[in-house]
Amino acid sequence: MSGPAAPFAFEMVRRAPSQRTAGLITGMTGYRETARGQFCQREAAPLAVPLIISFGTPFTIALGRDPDAADRQHSFAAGLYAGAVYIESDGAAECVQVDFTPLGAFRFFGGAVVDLTARMIGIDDVLGAEGPRLRERLGATSGWQRRFDIVEDFVTRRAHFLPSPELEFAYRRLARSGGGIRIGALAEEIGWSRKHLVDRFRSEFGLAPKSIARMMRFHQACRLARTGTSHGWAGIAAESGFSDQAHLVREFVSLAGEPPTAWARRLALTDSRLTRLQHAFADG
């Protein structure tokens, strides 16, 4: 990607999940760019299902590649995708982003969450007439906290779909293991065949359990890199359940679009905890 790594002038406000939204979302973010220019960002295989309500110029977003003019996105929802997301903006973007957990996404979107997998769908298509009304109401409201209140009410009111108990158990068990439990063993715990578990995972989360487990291990590695408590990339690989450092590097290239030290070098611009890693360890 060419151009600046990220907007150099922006306002970002975050709200953690409340008691009402715990387990449903990982949080809400208000984002507004304050300097014109052409900016490029990359997000690594997010283990969340975002809903973006936009009030500024649209982002240009593509999955696994640099975006072009045909990839302009206004307000939309996007499903799970096991790869890097490439984002460009012009310095006039403004939005509220709601990040749903995979379980919370099913509660909010119901079976439509599968249609979102590796896709971006406009808010009017995914939420019907409620989508544009929500956008208009938020656009007419000043102040991030008041906007967050509106979104939280909307999300909790609409989140009435229930995932199957077996799938909820399987997802939570997979998450507790950090993506380390064998899928066959997970199926045995439920009393299903491995094939049935895989099919049902796809029907409620959009991805097979193996893909979600990969993303969980990857995000564990990212968290460890940020804490700086592991002994280099080899230590991070071992603690995250990768077979070796080479396996970790391959997964970073696949899920983040770049080797781990390139990822750390880029993020160190905004996260000083990664500075040591980016200088001290090779890509492997």
Structure tokens at 157: 């009111």
pLDDT by residue (tens digit) across 85-132? 999 999 999 999 999 999 999 999 999 999 999 999 999 999 999 999
pLDDT by residue (tens digit) across 1-52? 444 455 567 899 999 999 999 999 999 999 999 988 888 889 999 999 999 9
pLDDT confidence of 53, banded at 50, 70, 90? very high
Q: Which residues of 131-152 are buried (b: 16+ CB within 10 A; e: fewer)?
A: beebbeebbeeeebeebbeebb
Residue type for position 81: Y
List Cβ neighbours of 239 (8 Å cut-off, separation of 6 or more). 220, 224, 230
How far apart, in whole angstroms, are the C-alpha atoms of residue 43 and residue 256? 7
Q: Average pLDDT in the 169-176 region?
A: 96
pLDDT at position 215 is: 97
Residue 154 has pLDDT above 70, yes or no: yes
User: What is the chain's alpha carbon radius of gyration, rounded to the nearest angstrom?
Assistant: 19
pLDDT by residue (tens digit) across 129-138? 999 999 999 9
List Cβ neighbours of 87 (8 Å cut-off, separation of 6 or more). 40, 41, 42, 43, 59, 60, 61, 67
What counts of helices (H) and strands (E) characterise the chain? 12, 10
Domain 10-158, CATH class in plain words: mainly beta
Contact present, 103 and 57 (Cβ < 8 Å): no
pLDDT at position 184 is: 96
Residue 246 has pLDDT above 50, yes or no: yes
pLDDT at position 6 is: 58
Residue 168 to residues 14, 211, 231, Cα–Cα distance (Å): 27, 16, 34
pLDDT at position 270 is: 65
List Cβ neighbours of 49 (8 Å cut-off, separation of 6 or more). 77, 78, 79, 80, 99, 100, 101, 102, 104, 105, 109, 113, 116
pLDDT at position 268 is: 77
pLDDT confidence of 277, banded at 50, 70, 90? very low
pLDDT confidence of 279, banded at 50, 70, 90? very low
Sequence ranges of the domains in the chain: 10-158, 165-206, 218-280
Beta pairing, strands 76-78 & 59-63: unpaired
Residue 280 has pLDDT above 60, yes or no: no
CATH fold group of domain 218-280 = Arc Repressor Mutant, subunit A (1.10.10)
Residue 266 has pLDDT above 90, yes or no: no
Strand order in the sheet with 59-63: 39-44, 84-89, 59-63, 72-73
Beta-strand runs (E) in the chain? 10-15, 25-33, 39-44, 49-54, 59-63, 72-73, 76-78, 84-89, 94-100, 120-122
Q: Can you list the alpha helix ranges (DSSP code H) found in 128-182?
A: 130-139, 144-158, 165-176
**Cα–Cα–Cα angle for 254, 258, 259, rounded to 5 degrees:** 95
pLDDT at position 271 is: 58
pLDDT at position 2 is: 43
